[in-house]
Structure 1
């Protein structure tokens, strides 16, 4: 029995010894697994994080210039107009109604001022109508004068044309032409003989934002002028405006060629009626003394307004002055004031659609002619002994007509006086050496 007990205790003791040994081995193993080793830790790999590429700034698309020729804006109805000199009031839309009544094409609508202001402006101190620097910049603060001047054989020689910045010539009726002379940068002391207005003035007037100067008009044209949006910028002897004088009867070939004026009188009267201010539309012409490349020889220009009469206009290039001398028929065209022959630095020929209207202009029954000078059409610029084919363009009522070169740029005039010859589409204008 005693031996049995001893064996049992020995067995228990041995078991306890084994358990302790196992516990120590396990703990040592755990310590070995957690102890640091001599193997150096791997070096950190420095990977640069790429900076994000900057997003390209989108280039704004240019705002397309509206094509007012292809998509003309609608013409607003002209508001009611009251004429203080007569006390007559024209109801809204009368200006447009008279055009319809006499089968006269409706004029174009004005385009936004933003478009007009986007056209190139003349340099400071330079006349916008001639490209010539002015001695006194104050003259550019006054408003252009569009004076109607006779060009019948009895009315020649005229006074003041030598001082005009631009002369616009069109057929009137009866085979003769008439001028609208635009004065801004010079101040002639004598202008005349002053005559009546025609339909063309309803286009040149707003185009230049000018003051219209004339001696009456046929009744339909008078009503168009007085019902127009610019009727206050109108100096008319028939309305009693005291900006004119009459020369003695023995100094005029016929009685209806006695009315004269001066630039000073006209600008003073414009001041008195609150219409003296700079023009808002004289933008878009370019001038360059150097002639462009190309073109074709044109030392002689013949415009047959009325073949076989003195209304045939001829220009001959004078290389010494660099200008084109003007002839009526074969007779030099002289300015009475200066005694010198009229000349042009540039001739701008505008081919325009012409219609004969029902408006009667004189006692012989001659009808008023209408020339469409808006949109675009064929043109020729003649300067420095050469002629250049261009396209003329005018987008709206308040836009200056401009010569456009084949590459789309504005074709430059030569600095100096400009004569604009508005001729019927298809007229055979002769250009020769």
Structure 2
């Protein structure tokens, strides 16, 4: 994998007027009101004098908008892993992780959250693509061991579509950030893949509810996967692909208040992904009770059966939905 290279970045106050105007055009339309607006209204006040780089073998993680005006989404069917988390107002947001292949386009891209930094520590300096973040969170992103790429960092990698309103129209071209995907060895998640374990219970459908959002996964023998629906509507991408992961993990975690609020005063939930708890693993039309454990932020997450044996996932895409414990 070869990283796209750029010259050293200087502080924004020293940038030329032309560069500032270009950024302004790219970010036009980010300021909107409503419960699903970006923290900090999509802005990015990160320091520009720090040149970030990612080693060969780092994954690409992209924050994906998941409110109704953002659908249908683009490129999520190509992700190796899709994480779903609760955000302000009881809504949901996705983070798609790419290691084995890149779609041509991914989006709509939205803002980062504090929880993302802990979740991404399991990877070796991943590239995180996002539209911005709450102003007080940006220094934490600067210090995190990741390569942060916003529209201000990589102007040519992002574009806005004209067929839907901002801020639900920002898209990323992954090949503008990384020349090629790093491969499966970069997926240091702790997940195990292989034959289905013994036991389990037949499962036709499972729904996970947030205060203002819900995910439903319905088993399809034809697809050998779980057909995804969000808020009651089938999840079909812009290229008319019905999303159907081979494995769905319902991971019960602590969701607490963070130190951050959006511009409307709504607290940003913090999803704790380090620790232990219970989970359900859905694969092959069956549900398996499990325990999960992640001892430190740099560890992956292990899933074991009640008897302590490791639980295998089915080969293919994995969705991890964080549910309140």
Instruction: Name the TM tier (shorter chain).
Output: 0.7 to 0.9
1:148-297 counterparts in 2 under 5 A?
148-209=63-124, 210-228=126-144, 230-231=145-146, 233-238=147-152, 240-248=153-161, 250-252=162-164, 254-268=165-179, 282=188, 284-288=190-194, 290-297=195-202
| Structure with the largest fraction of helix | 1
**Aligned equivalent of 2:221:** 319
SS in 2 for 1:196: coil
Using a 3 Å threshold, how does the CA distance of structure 1 residues 265 and 142 change in structure 2: closer, same or farther? Answer: farther
Are 1:285 and 1:410, in contact at CA under 8 Å, matched by a contact in 2?
no
**Aligned equivalent of 2:41:** none
Give the TM-score normalised by structure 2. Answer: 0.78
Residues 234-280 of structure 1: per-residue CA shift (max 9 Å, x gap): 11224x323532234x312x221222112211214x99xxxx89976
Are 1:316 and 1:326, in contact at CA under 8 Å, matched by a contact in 2?
yes
Q: Give the CA deviation at 1:409.
A: 2.9
Q: Give the CA deviation at 1:408.
A: 2.4
Residues 312-359 of structure 1: per-residue CA shift (max 9 Å, x gap): 1111111122111011132111111x2021111000111111111241
Q: Give the CA deviation at 1:84.
A: 5.0
Query: In the comparison of the two structures, how many residue pairs are matched?
Result: 276
In structure 2, runs of 5+ residues without a counterpart are 1-7, 14-55
Distance 2:170 2:139 in 1: 22
Distance 1:291 1:401 in 2: 18
Distance 1:314 1:213 in 2: 27
Distance 1:367 1:85 in 2: 33
Structure ID, larger Rg:
1
Distance 2:205 2:187 in 1: 33
Higher relative contact order (CA 8 A, sep 6+): 2
Q: Give the CA deviation at 1:208.
A: 2.3
Using a 3 Å threshold, how does the CA distance of structure 1 residues 381 and 153 change in structure 2: closer, same or farther? Answer: same
**Aligned equivalent of 2:256:** 355
The answer to whether the aligner puts 1:364 opposite 2:272 as a matched pair is: no
| Structure with the largest fraction of strand | 2
**Aligned equivalent of 2:48:** none
**Aligned equivalent of 2:28:** none
Distance 2:291 2:271 in 1: 16
